[in-house]
Each structure stands twice: as structure tokens, then as C-alpha cells.
A = this chain, B = another copy of it.
Amino acid sequence: MSHLKHVAIAGATGAVGVEMLRCLEQRNFPVGQLTLLASARSAGKTVKFKGTDVTIKELKADSFEGVDIALFSAGGGISKEFIPHAVKAGAVVVDNSSAYRMDDSVPLVVPEINAEDVKKHKGIIANPNCTTAITLMALWPLHQAFGVKRLFASSYQAVSGTGAQAIEELERQTREWAKAERKWDDVRLPADQVKVYPHQIAFNALPHVDSFLDSGYTKEEMKMENEGRKIMHHPTLRASVTCVRVPVFRAHSVAVSAEFEKPVTVEAAYEVLRTAKGLDLVDDPTLKKYPLALDVAGKDNCAVGRLRLDCALDNGLAFWVAGDQLLKGAALNAVQIAECLV
């Protein structure tokens, strides 16, 4: 590879694809040539990159000729279909879908945690689940200091995690309620307003993210344990998670109770969190300061706060972590992985 790279984005018009482009630009990634790929529907449109118009092309099997690095964020089906072609053409792929994450031959990477795993790639590197990545940004420094055994977590996930159509759905449902001059106790919208999610998301909380497994957990909920084990090289980690979609646009929050091998104190936890990369410690309840979805939206760093000795665990900490789902939860982490490659 030369210094300047030929970078492709598959899914360039999606909620994450747009952020990938922004991250490449803002982080001054050494882009020599840029190929933006999307469905036939979007082909022909142009988007700006560093002041220049780039025309979007239709994603095809032969789209990857000469591409050095391909960032995929167009869903698991597209990844399964097109990534083999990209790899065959000689590109290294960073895949934001769940398609390859648990494949033993594919590194799953959060650069602040296991950047060295990037080196083991055989053409594909997987970008982790958004809620998992954001949670691990706070859990990893604590794990290094105290050794995490298990965790209980509940998520407050933004609609951006489902993509552009879901963002539009929350916008549309909210405007529909406001437009109709309905009152607070008349918030259920007509069934034809519910398209992307199985139930109305505006003014609701949906305990259903990704599909259900026979165990009763959703796939999303098990990603914390499965991907957490792989990223942290911690095969015995246990994680019981409830993933919930809330009417928030772009940042996820997670409430965590974590049990550790070693005794913990809030002060010792502060010590390791304060110096953790990519993480801000925001924890001053007396000043009403704690991580908020609205505050981390658009920010690269995740934020952790509400730290306290867990009152139902012996060596436990409870905390609250929030992060931009489109950035650290997706596009930023993918571009950081690409940076490890150059």
C-alpha cells in the first residue's frame, strides 16, 4: 500500500455511511481515491468530500478493483454478499455489520482495547455492536484494574442504530403528534404511522432490539457477552442485558452493574477512568453533571458517570455510560480501525 489509500464505503448514503465519510474527512485520513457505493436507488447522486463532489456508484461485485480499504455499513446481508468480492479484489474490509463478528478468523476490534488484534486479519476486520463498544469503553479500564466477572446492563438506545429510516420514523411520529394538537394522554398514533419498528417509538420504550433467540434474549442483548468476551480476550465474562429502544435520536446510554474479582472503590475507579482514552469522566451529581445522550451526540468520546459502589454486589460498581451510536458505536470506530491499517 502507498501512503495515500483508495478507500471505498459500501452503504455510503446510510446513517453510518454518512458519518464514515465525515470521520475520514475530519480525521484527515490519507484518502487518495474515494469510491462511494450504495444501492441502485442512490447511484448517480453526489456528495461532497473535502469540497469535491463524489458521485455515488451502485454497489456491485466488481466495485472493488484497486480498493485498499473498504468500509462496509449496509447491513449483514450486503456484507455477506459483497465482502468476499472486496477481499478477493485485494481490499482490507472493516465491516460494521454483525455478519463476521464472531468468526474466529476475523478480528473484532475497539482500537482503545485490542488494536493489536488488527494485525491478525485475513482481509476482514469486524466493527463491534454499538451498545457493546460504548459499554466497553468504560468497562475495559475497570476490567484492567479490577477484573470484571459479570455485568448486568440495560440500554437506552437511539433510533439511529436502526438506520436512516428509523430516524425518519421518530421524526415523523413526533411531528404527527405535535401537528394534531393532541394532548399528553392521547399519544397513540394511527397504525399507518408505524413502519420501521413493530410498535410506535415516539413516547414509548421498546424492549426489543434485533431478533429474539430461543433463550428469550435478543441477539442484540447477547452481543455484550459474546463480543465483550472476544474484544477483551475474556472468555468467562457473563453479561445479562436488556436492550431497549427509546425516543432518542443518536446516542445510546447504558446502565451497568459490574462485579469484579478485586475489591473496588469509587476513588480507585475514578483513577483508571480519568486517564482512559476516548472516555470522559462526567460525574458530579451535586452539580447535576452526569453523561447525557444529548451531550455526547456528535462527540467522539464516550462519557461515564453516576459511579457508585453497587449495593447488591460485594465487589461491584454501578455506573452510567453514554456514547454517540453513529460515531464510537459505528463510523468512528471503523475509521479508527482503518487508521490501524495505515
Contacts and interface: CB of A to CB of B under 8 A. Distances in A.
A285 B218 CA distance: 9
Contacts of A177: 174
Q: Which of A179, A204, A253 has the most CB of B within 10 A?
A: A204
Contacts of A318: 216-217, 240, 242
Contacts of A301: none
Interface string A130-143: 00000000000000
A306 interface: yes
Contact of A266 (B185, B216, B294): B216
A200 interface: yes
Given A171-B184, A174-B174, A247 B215 contact: no
Given A311-B215, A311-B239, A249 B174 contact: no
A27 interface: no
A246 B249 contact: no
B255 A244 contact: yes
A197 B206 CA distance: 23
A307 interface: yes
A188 interface: yes
Contact of A311 (B179, B240, B253, B290): B240
Contacts of A297: 185, 187
Given A203-B248, A216-B285, 4 more contacts: A216-B307, A239-B311, A239-B312, A240-B257
